[in-house]
Chain A
Amino acid sequence: MRRADRAGAVLLLLFGVWFAAVALRNYTYWSATGPGAGFFPFWLGVAMAALAALLLVRAAREADAGPAWVPRGRGVARFLGVLGASVAFVALMPWVGMALGTVLFLVFILRLLEGHAWPAVIGVAVGTAAVNWAVFAWWLRVPFPAGVLGF
C-alpha cells in the first residue's frame, strides 16, 4: 500500500495543480461583483495539492510497505471477470439489447466464473431478466435498448 500511496499522492498533487491552473487561466477569479467562476475551483486545486503533498511526505517516511492490496490468485480472475463482463454488457447493449444481455451476462458470471449448476443458472438468468424488464420497461416505462432481435 505504501507504493500505491506514493504514486497516488503524486498523481493527486499534479491533478490539484492542474485544476488550480485551469481555474486561473480559463475562468474569472474575481469579477467586479465578487468571486467569479474560477474562485472556488482554484482553492480546491490548492487544497488538493496541499493534502496530496502531506500524503506524499507521510508515505515517503513510512518504514514498512504495509499490507498488499492487489488481489491474488482466484481473486484476480473474479475481479477481472466481473469487471470485464460488465463493460462488455454495456458496450454491446445497443446490439444485444437489455433483456438478452442480462441473460448472457448472468450465464457468463454464474456458469463460467462461479460454476453453478445449469438449472440454477438458467432460472436465475431468465428470472432476473424478466423481473428487470417488468419493473423498468413495463412499469417505469424506461426505453431499454432493444437490440437487433427486437427485445
Chain B
Amino acid sequence: MDLFANLALGFSIAFTPFNLAMAAAGVILGTLIGALPGVGPVSGIALLLPLTFGMPPTSGIIMLAALYAGSMYGGTITSVLINTPGESASVVTCIDGHQMALRGRAGPALGIAAIGSFVAGTVGVVLLMGMSPLLARWALSFGPPETFALMLLGLTTVTGLTGDNALKGYISMVLGLMLSMVGFDLISGDARYTAGINEMLDGVDFLPVAIGLFGLGEVLAGAERAVRMEILSARYGLRDVLPSLADWARSRWAIARGTVLGFVIGVLPGAGPTIATFLAYSLEKKVSKHPEEFGRGAIEGVAAPESANNAASAGAMVPMLTLGIPGSATTAIMMGGLMMWGLRPGPLLFEKNPDFVWGLIASLYIANVMLLVLNIGFIPVFVRALRIPYSILMALIVVFCITGAYSQNNKLWDVGQMLVFGVVGYGMKKLDYSPAALVLALVLGPLAERALRQALIISDSGMLILFQRPISAVLTTLAIVAVAVPVVRAFHQAVAGRGPNMAPTPPGAR
C-alpha cells in the first residue's frame, strides 16, 4: 500500500543519526520550555527557528515539531507541582493535578499525564497521517477564490478565538496584514510603504517580528512581576509514578475521549490545544459518575486535558501542512519557518516533498516514545530546572532573541526590528491586543492578497465570485459569521456602554 511505502520512507529518514539527534534535542528542549513558566511553545519555536537555518528543512521541522509535542508534556510538571501553568495548554491541569499533589499523589498525576499524552500523541499522528493526504488531494482542486476564502476563514477564526478581546484581536490582525504589505508587490513591482528605506524593500521580516513579539515582548511583560514559586516535593521512582490499576480504570476512557476531542479541535482553524483542554475537562466532568470529585484531585481531570492537548497539537499540523493555513500562533511560526526554508506549505507539499512530510510524520512517532521515557523516568531533572530563577532565564532569553534575530541575515537592522516589536509585543500584551493574530496575518498577508487579486482577475462579477463557487461560498460565509458575531456583540455593548470584554475565552489561548 501507498501509505506503508511512504511511512517506510519516513522512518528511513527519521532514523538517520542527525535527525534522531534533532528529535531528541526537540523533545528535551520542548519539555523544558513547557515546564518553565514564562516560555511556551510559541516563544520556544520562535527562538529556536534561527538554529534550523543551518540544517536541511526536514531536520529543522523534526526539531520544531518534537519541541511542540514536548512542550505539551512538560507543562504538566509545573501545573501539578507549583499550581502555575508552564504554558497555556496546561492551565486546566492545575485544578485537579495540584490537588492530587497536595494529597501526596503527584507521582500518579504526572504518570497518567505522560501515558495519556503518549496515547493521544501517537493516535494523533495516526490520524494526521490518514487524514492529511486525503485533505491535500481535495485541496488540489482549489482555485484562487477557494484559497482566499480559506485564508479569510483561518484569519477570522484564529483572531476571534485567541485573546480575551475580539475587537482588539481583529485590530491586531489588520495591523499584521498592513505590515505584510510593506515591500515589493510581486504582481505590479511597486515598492509599497517603504518610506524610501532600502532595508524595507524586502518587507517586514517575519522572524524578527516573531522573536520580538513572543521572545522579548514576553520577557518585558514578565520582568515587571517578580515570580516566586514554591515547588511541592514528591517521589518520582518508577513505582511512584506509574498509576495504580484503579487509576488506570478511571482514566482510560478519559484518555480516549480527550484524544478524539483534542484532535478534532486541533484540526479546526483557530482552536488549538488550549481550548481543547478546557473542552475536554468540562466534557469529562459532565460524563463522570462522580462529578463532585472534580476540583479535589480527580485523576480524570488530569488525564483528559493532558491527552487532549497532545492530540490537538498533532491535529494543528494538518491544516498547516495540507492547506497552508496555520490554525494557531505556534503553527503560524512553523509555517513561517517552512517558507523561509523555501518550501511551500499546501496541497503540493505532499507531492513535491514526500521526504519532508513523511520524515516529519515518522519522527513524531519516535518523539512520542522519547517523551514517554523522558516524562516517566526523568521527572527530577526537569523539577531541578524549575529552580532556575526567572531573572536568569529572562536574561538568557534576551541574549537568545538578539542572536537569533541577527543570525538570519547577519544584519543589525533585523535586531533593531526585533527590539521594536519587542516593545510592541509588550504593549499589545498589556493592553489585550493579540500578538498571535498579528503574526498569523503577517504570514498569510501576501498569500491572501495574491489569491484575492487572482480571484478578482478571473471574476466577471467582482467580489461575488467568492459566493458563486460552492466551497468558497461556504468558507466565506463561515468567515463572515466568525467576524459578525463578536463585532455585533461589541457594537451592542458599545451602545449600551457595558463591560469591556467580549467572548470570554481562556487567557492566552494558543
Q: Which chain A residues have a beta carbon within 8 Å of chain B's beta carbons?
A: 1, 4-5, 8, 12, 16, 19, 22, 26-28, 31, 33-37, 39-41, 44-45, 47-48, 51-52, 54-55, 57-58, 61-63, 66, 69, 71, 74-76, 78-79, 81-83, 85-87, 89-90, 93-94, 98, 102, 105-106, 109-110, 113-114, 116, 120, 124, 128, 132, 135-136, 139-145
Interface residues of B, count at CB 8 A: 63
B398:A62 contact, CB within 8 angstroms: no
Residue from the list B181, B225, B392, B403 in contact with A98, Cβ < 8 A: B403
Q: Does B453 contact A (CB under 8 A)?
A: yes
Encode contact with A along B454-495: 1 for CB under 8 Å, 0 otherwise: 001100000000000000000000000000000100110111
Chain A proximity mask over B393-433: 1 for CB below 8 Å, otherwise 0: 01110111011001100101001100100110010001110
Determine if A124 and B392 form an interchain contact, defined as CB atoms under 8 angstroms apart: yes
The answer to whether A1 touches B431, judged by C-beta atoms less than 8 angstroms apart, is: yes
Is the beta-carbon distance between A140 and B53 smaller than 8 angstroms?
A: yes
The total of Cβ contacts below 8 Å across the A-B interface reads: 172
CB-CB < 8 A to B412: which residues of A?
Answer: 90, 93-94, 145
Contacts of A57 on B, CB cut-off 8 Å? 494
Residue of B nearest to A72 (CB): B224
Complex formed: what's the CA distance from A140 to B407 in Å? 9
Could you list 4 further interchain pairs (A-B, Cβ under 8 angstroms) beyond the known A48-B174, A58-B494, A143-B410? A34-B456, A39-B456, A75-B223, A106-B399
Q: What sequence of 0s and 1s flags, for each residue 361-395 of chain B, a beta carbon within 8 Å of any chain A beta carbon?
A: 00000000000000000000000000001011011
Given contacts A33-B457, A47-B174, whether A86 and B422 have CB atoms under 8 Å apart is yes
- What's the least CB distance linking B491 to chain A, in Å? 7
C-alpha spacing A113/B394, complex, angstroms: 12
Known interface pairs A33-B457, A106-B395. Does A83 touch B431 (Cβ–Cβ under 8 Å)? no
Closest 3 A-B residue pairs measured CB to CB?
A75-B224, A34-B457, A61-B497
Give the interface SS of chain A, mostly helix, strand, loop or mixed.
helix
Residue of B nearest to A30 (CB): B456
A26–B177 alpha-carbon span in the complex (Å): 18
- B240 close to A (CB within 8 Å): no
Interface residue? B216 (CB, 8 A): yes
Query: Is B185 an interface residue, CB under 8 A from the partner?
Result: yes
Interface presence of B287 (CB below 8 A): no
Contacts A40-B181, A98-B403 given; indicate if A48 touches B171 (C-beta within 8 A).
yes
Chain A residue nearest to B190 (CB atoms) is A37
